[in-house]
Amino acid sequence: MSPATFDEIAIIGIGLIGSSLARAARETGAATKVSLYDANEEVRSTASRLGLGHVCDDLKSVCQSADCVLLCVPVGAIEATMQEIAPYLKPASIITDVGSVKESALTAMQAHCPAHVHLIPGHPIAGTEKSGPEAGFASLFRGAWHILTPIPKQGEAYNGAVDRLAAFWERLGARVEIMDAARHDRVLAITSHLPHLIAYNIVSTAYDMESVGEGEVVKYSAGGFRDFTRIAASDPTMWRDVFLNNKDAVLETLGRFSEDLAALQRAIRWGDGDTLMREFERARGIRKAIIEAGQDTDETNFGRNTPDKND
Ligand code: NAP
């Protein structure tokens, strides 16, 4: 095995992403030592039981000797965590995060980051609807994009740190892309944040409808609705923080979405089958392009074992 990218990494927040990182870093040899910390004592003892690495009981011990500190906490907890760890960070170490929103994460971390460390925000485009240390797995990042949003014009040492962090993620199996933080937030608003908002909304609407009293929504849930319920099972804290922190991009995208939805509504009302066909065929083409780009598979029923009988 080639030498580790980092001698020691510190993972703060041992949930789905943090525990997957710990597993992947150990399995691939990307870090010689993996130290972990979580604010929740029960999560710390689960992480110890799972053998995820060297579990610490405080923030100072987890990060004081780390070459790279990875904040894997909800977006809303990034600023307070950064403020607490700032005095303990080793000179020339790297501090990064995995938050799903990048402009607010950068502002939050920059407010407290000491000048002697390299701050490089990041976001793995990988995840599931599950949370907690037991939900993580080593192959989560394999083949997935990892977006880094470095601060521009920082000089040679900083650029070297960006290359090193990119090499670390590549070793975990990710494909690294460099992007401006604001652009990241606009892109993710449509590809990830809006779909989650729609899923939360459609599931609540269905449950508010009167047939729910008779259990019909659950009993007759068709494939389309079940896919939404899977997305809507995602962690509420994480998603509350995403919407509060990517407000402008999400509202702009939601405006466009509402206009397009109104056009479909009009086409249904006036029996305009041509418009419906045109829009549905265009959407089908986009699905094909996603499969061709290797972002999903073409398996029937998304690879599920049981066929949907209720679609
Ligand atoms: P998770 O499974 O809920 O894990 C987060 C962990 O952080 C929990 O154990 C939580 O403890 C702990 N925590 C909360 N505040 C903390 C603090 N101040 N200090 C230390 N630990 C703290 O969440 P996740 O899915 O791994 O998400 C973590 C980050 O990854 C988020 O920023 C999210 O935006 C990003 N992300 C998630 C996904 C995804 O699909 N899930 C994908 C890409 C990026 P408690 O449970 O006690 O609160």
Q: What is the full DSSP assignment across 148-184?
A: E-PPSS--HHHHHHHHHHHHHHHHTT-EEEE--HHHH
Ligand 1: centre distance to CA 194 (Å): 20
What amino acid is encoded at 201 in this protein?
N
Contact status, residue 281 vs residue 274, Cβ threshold 8 Å: no
Structure confidence at residue 234 as a pLDDT band (50, 70, 90): very high
pLDDT at 310 over 70: no
Ligand 1: centre distance to CA 126 (Å): 13
pLDDT at 311 over 50: no
Ligand 1: centre distance to CA 84 (Å): 17
pLDDT of amino acid 211 = 63
Taking only the tens place, the pLDDT of each residue in 73-97 is 999 999 999 999 999 999 999 999 9
Substitution candidate for ligand 1 out of 12, 14, 17, 35 with most atoms within 8 A of CB: 17
Ligand 1: centre distance to CA 257 (Å): 29
pLDDT at 301 over 60: no
pLDDT at 302 over 50: yes
Token digits of residue 1: 């095995």
The structural domains of the chain, ordered by start, are 6-179 (3.40.50.720), 183-292 (1.10.3660.10)
Taking only the tens place, the pLDDT of each residue in 205-221 is 888 876 666 677 777 77
Taking only the tens place, the pLDDT of each residue in 287-297 is 888 888 877 77
Count of positions (residues) in the chain: 311
Taking only the tens place, the pLDDT of each residue in 132-190 is 999 999 999 999 999 999 999 899 999 999 999 999 999 999 999 999 999 999 999 99
Taking only the tens place, the pLDDT of each residue in 114-137 is 999 999 999 999 999 899 999 999
139 vs 27: CA distance, rounded Å: 9
Q: Which atom of ligand 1 is nearest to the CA of 128?
A: 40
Ligand 1: centre distance to CA 253 (Å): 25
pLDDT at 36 over 60: yes
For all residues of the chain together, what is the average pLDDT? 92
Q: Count Cβ atoms within 10 A of the Cβ of residue 111 and give its class: 0-12 exposed, 13-18 middle, 19 or more buried.
A: exposed
pLDDT of amino acid 304 = 52
Ligand 1, atom 42: closest residue by C-alpha: 127
Residues 6+ apart with CB under 8 A from 58: 37
Q: Is the CB of 17 under 6 A from ligand 1?
A: yes
255 vs 160: CA distance, rounded Å: 41
- Interval 49-57 mean pLDDT: 98
